[in-house]
Amino acid sequence: MPSRNASLSLNKSANWKNIDVLGIVTNGSTWNFYKLTPEGQVYESLPYALGTIAQILGLLHYVFEQCQQNLNGS
């Protein structure tokens, strides 16, 4: 995941909308989800194991839904 300062700088210099930057990290066994707000707040989920596949799929759906909304300008 890009550094917090790099993400904030890119967001400002490119004159982009102020949106949350979402990240996903997995090693195949566990999944972590991250959010960086335009204000610089960083949120990290607890690790999700493959045994919680329904929760992982729900979180993935949320991340992709947010991406779609940002692309559509909502």
**39 vs 3: which has the higher pLDDT:** 39
Task: Note the pLDDT tens digit of each residue in 17-72.
Answer: 788 889 999 998 999 999 998 889 999 999 999 899 999 999 999 999 998 888 88
The pLDDT value recorded for residue 32 is 96
Q: How much is the pTM?
A: 0.71
The pLDDT value recorded for residue 33 is 96
For residues 28 and 67, the answer to whether their CB atoms sit within 8 Å is: no
Using the structure block, give the residue that is written with the tokens 């960083």: 42
Q: What angle do CA 20, 35, 66 make, to 5 degrees?
A: 50
Q: Is the pLDDT of residue 1 over 50?
A: no
Q: Is the pLDDT of residue 15 over 70?
A: no
